[in-house]
């Protein structure tokens, strides 16, 4: 992502990664400057299917495994609530 919205979402990913204690990142074979490119998927913390808005304020970036875990894992709903708290703290809401 190389836009102000993308940068904002990536910034949230970095905060979430630190707060959740995650250390592994799924990286692609691409390189941007001297950095490996992380492969991330957008995740709406207020699901569109539940009437949530399609607004960058409610989107975070997750690696594919974490994204699937949020949608299908036994702790998925709890993790999504945790993500909502992290975003609210970071955004000052």
pLDDT digits (tens, 9 = 90+) for 3-17: 666 677 776 766 666
26: number of Cβ within 10 Å: 13
Q: What is the mean pLDDT of residues 65-87?
A: 89
Domain with 69, as residue range(s), is 4-91
Count structural domains, the chain: 1
Does residue 67 contact residue 77 with C-beta atoms inside 8 Å?
no
- 8, with CB counted inside 10 A (0-12, 13-18, 19+), is middle
In degrees, to the nearest 5, what angle opens at C-alpha 64 toward C-alphas 11 and 62?
20
Q: What is the mean pLDDT of residues 54-68?
A: 83
64-75 pLDDT per residue, tens: 888 898 999 999
Residue 46 has pLDDT above 80, yes or no: yes
């Amino acid at each position: 992502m190389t836009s102000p919205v993308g940068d904002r979402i990536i910034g949230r990913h970095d905060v979430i990664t630190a707060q959740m204690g995650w250390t592994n990142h799924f990286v692609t074979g691409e390189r941007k400057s001297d950095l490996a490119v992380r492969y991330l998927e957008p995740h709406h913390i207020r699901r569109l299917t539940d009437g949530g808005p399609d607004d960058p304020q409610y989107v975070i970036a997750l690696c594919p495994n974490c994204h699937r875990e949020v949608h299908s894992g036994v702790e998925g709903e709890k993790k999504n609530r945790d993500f909502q708290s992290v975003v609210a703290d970071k955004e000052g809401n």
